[in-house]
Amino acid sequence: METATVDLATTLRQQGYRVTQPRRAVWDALVRASGHMTVEQLSRQVEEPVDQASIYRTLKLFEELGLARMSHLGEGEASRWEPAHPDEHFHLVCRSCGTVDHHIGTLVRDIRNHLDDGHGFDVEDVELVVTGRCDDCRA
Amino acid sequence: METATVDLATTLRQQGYRVTQPRRAVWDALVRASGHMTVEQLSRQVEEPVDQASIYRTLKLFEELGLARMSHLGEGEASRWEPAHPDEHFHLVCRSCGTVDHHIGTLVRDIRNHLDDGHGFDVEDVELVVTGRCDDCRA
DNA sequence: TTGGGTGCAAACTCTTTGCAGCGTT
DNA sequence: AACGCTGCAAAGAGTTTGCACCCAA
């Protein structure tokens, strides 16, 4: 967590952005929660209050800097944010309890490879969301 | 197209819903366009004017009846609708020209199988959206 | 005839934007 | 001191909802 904070400050400064209290607070909340946070949830968990508009701006910046990643996990749902991690993964959303699990595997890379091989499509992003019922919620 | 219309009326009646002009018009527009339509696009292409609120209600009904399918194809974009087809497929969205292609293959089924085999997750829906640049848009 | 469906308008949610003032550099 | 960033409030998009009227059954 300390490491994460340092990384944030370093990355911001390297790219010529200011290291501000709101940015630190949003980043800390994001890291502390380890992912899948809506802007609203973040705004509630942030140490010092930060305006939601600023949270949106901050997260968008983090995304550009490669620090955070957004996903849509379902219909009519707000976007969810998590610290960017290096592994390609996808999300398993339980429609019963709402839990979101990461599933790390070769699947996303397989998709990339499959499309790179002569399908003439230059893949930039793979968004894979699987909805269903998790182990705990099945009968 | 005539077949499609007949299917619509039959399905509606079988489930106790009324066969109305707006429902026919929305369905025709959806079939005619063969997919990937936003509500706004549909409202422009429908023969007789249909209120957007009614289009939303109609599409939601079609979805429940298994006649149509919705996808989110990108950030901040409106939902897109297409007639439900039996093949499992996913979408290739070109961020340059905006074209959306279907890609039919075993990938989606592979994902289902992968998760069904002892991962304890009961898969209901797989939403896979690949963003990148299509053949035509690459240099 | 009757109640399901529609149009219209208002409300709601999520997100973005304009602007004046604050705080990092 | 300078100007990038923030908070606040308002505006925007997409979608939903309440309600009176209409029309398919």
- Chain A within 8 Å of B117 (Cβ-Cβ)? no
The answer, yes or no, to whether residue B25 has pLDDT greater than 80, is: yes
Q: How confident is the model at residue B1 (pLDDT cuts 50, 70, 90)?
A: very low
Please give the pLDDT value at position A139. Answer: 66
Nucleotides of D under 7 A from a protein CB: 4-10, 13-18, 23-25
The answer, yes or no, to whether residue A65 has pLDDT greater than 50, is: yes
Looking across all nucleic acid strands, the nucleotide with the smallest C1' to CA distance from residue B23 is C5
More confident residue, B68 or A105: B68
Chain A residue with CA closest to B74: the answer is A72
Locate the domains of chain B by residue range.
3-83, 89-138
- Across the interface, whether the CB atoms of A75 and B75 are under 8 A apart is answered no
The answer, yes or no, to whether residue B40 has pLDDT greater than 90, is: yes
User: A 43-102 residues with CB below 8 A of B?
Assistant: 70, 72, 75, 79, 92, 95
- Chain B within 8 Å of A107 (Cβ-Cβ)? yes
Q: Which residue is nearest to nucleotide D25 (CA to C1')?
A: B18
How many angstroms separate the Cα of A108 from the Cα of each of A115, B106, B108, B110, B129?
11, 14, 11, 12, 11
Mean pLDDT of B22-39: 94
Mean pLDDT of B30-42: 93
Are the C-beta atoms of residues B45 and B38 closer than 8 Å to each other? Answer: no
From A26's Cα to the closest Cα of chain B, the distance in A is 21
pLDDT by residue (tens digit) across A106-121? 888 888 888 877 778 8
Residue holding tokens 């501000």? Answer: A20
- Across the interface, whether the CB atoms of A128 and B111 are under 8 A apart is answered yes
Are the C-beta atoms of residues A66 and A22 closer than 8 Å to each other? Answer: no
Choose the CATH number for A3-83 among 2.40.10.10, 1.10.10.10, 1.10.8.60, 2.130.10.10.
Answer: 1.10.10.10
Q: Which residue is nearest to nucleotide C3 (CA to C1')?
A: B18
Q: Rounded to two decimals, what is the model's pTM?
A: 0.89
The answer, yes or no, to whether residue B123 has pLDDT greater than 70, is: yes
Closest by CA position to B126, among listed A94, A136, A101, A129: A129
Chain B residues whose CB is inside 8 A of the A127 CB are: 127-131
Give the 3-state secondary structure of chain B. Answer: CHHHHHHHHHHHHHCCCCCCHHHHHHHHHHHHHCCCECHHHHHHHCCCCCCHHHHHHHHHHHHHCCCEEEECCCCCCCCEEEECCCCCEEEEEECCCCCEEEEECCHHHHHHHHHHCCCCCEEEEEEEEEEEECHHHCC
Fold designation for A89-138: Dna Ligase; domain 1 (3.30.1490)
Please give the pLDDT value at position A138. Answer: 79
- Across the interface, whether the CB atoms of B131 and A124 are under 8 A apart is answered yes
- Chain A within 8 Å of B125 (Cβ-Cβ)? yes
From A127's Cα to the closest Cα of chain B, the distance in A is 5
Please give the pLDDT value at position A1. Answer: 46
Mean pLDDT over the full length of chain B? 89
Instruction: Decide if A3-83 and A89-138 have a common fold.
Output: no
Please give the pLDDT value at position B58. Answer: 98
Mean pLDDT of A85-90: 84
Are the C-beta atoms of residues A33 and A83 closer than 8 Å to each other? Answer: no
Tokens describing residue B72:
């989110």
Is residue A103 classed exposed, middle or buried when 0-12, 13-18 and 19+ CB atoms within 10 A define those classes?
middle
Burial A64-89 (b: 16+ CB within 10 A, else e): eeebbbebbbbeeeeebbbbeeeebb
Mean pLDDT of B36-47: 96
User: A 5-34 residues with CB below 8 A of B?
Assistant: none
Interface A:B, Cβ pairs < 8 A: 94
Closest by CA position to B128, among listed B88, B97, B95: B88
